[in-house]
Amino acid sequence: MYPKPHIILGFLFSLLLVLTFSIGISGFLLVFLSSFLIDFDHFMIYYFYRGKLSLKAALKWYDKLEEKTEA
């Protein structure tokens, strides 16, 4: 999943938890940030192999890897 949907869905899920369970702002932030920052390791793997700090290039690289593994 791309970063934008992760952020949007993470926000909505966190908001739902706040409204349902009253977890407070710290709980909201914890769930929200972990919903997309957990994928940061994928970006770091790309940086390790390619040495570039480009999110767009990393997404293209992973798309190409996915295509190779599906064939």
Residue 34, token pair as written in the block:
């972990």
The whole-number average pLDDT for the span 6-22 is 93
Q: How confident is the model at residue 14 (pLDDT cuts 50, 70, 90)?
A: very high
Give 3-state DSSP helix, strand, coil % of the chain, rounded to 5: 85, 0, 15
Q: pLDDT of 15-56, one tens digit each?
A: 999 999 989 999 999 999 998 888 888 889 999 999 999 989
pLDDT recorded at residue 36 = 82
Is 71 a residue whose pLDDT tops 80? no
Provide the pLDDT for residue 69: 87
